[in-house]
Amino acid sequence: GAVVSQHPSWVICKSGTSVKIECRSLDFQATTMFWYRQFPKQSLMLMATSNEGSKATYEQGVEKDKFLINHASLTLSTLTVTSAHPEDSSFYICSARDRGLGTYEQYFGPGTRLTVT
């Protein structure tokens, strides 16, 4: 149980275009989903917290107009990188908390590697 999927697993896009990444909890309901970014040999940096049916909470320094987050249902959150630039190239990972268990454990998706050319 507690599986989180991400799609796509990798994507290459041209500078100036937008990319959407999906995060799904497959066998549980996730009231809260988190989006992280990880640069090579660096730690996971939390970008935003998304709660179902409400606006996402962004961490300091993360542009909310550039990284659009939508959490439309208890099993799906999306991150759209708008007007992508090469410096946005990174590993994007989502995670989710199981509403039913009421625990603080996060289940991570497999990640999406974004390359902007």
Which positions lie near other proteins, rule CB under 8 A? 34, 42-46, 49, 91, 93, 95, 104-111, 113
Nearest approach, Cβ of 93 to other proteins (angstroms)?
Answer: 5
Note the Cα 94 to chain centre separation in Å: 4
Nearest approach, Cβ of 68 to other proteins (angstroms)?
Answer: 20
38 vs 82, beta carbon nearer other proteins: 38
Nearest approach, Cβ of 48 to other proteins (angstroms)?
Answer: 11
Residues 6+ apart with CB under 8 A from 41: none
44 vs 82, beta carbon nearer other proteins: 44
Strand-pair category, 4-7 with 112-116: unpaired
Query: Is the peptide bond prior to 110 cis by the omega test (within 30 degrees of 0)?
Result: no
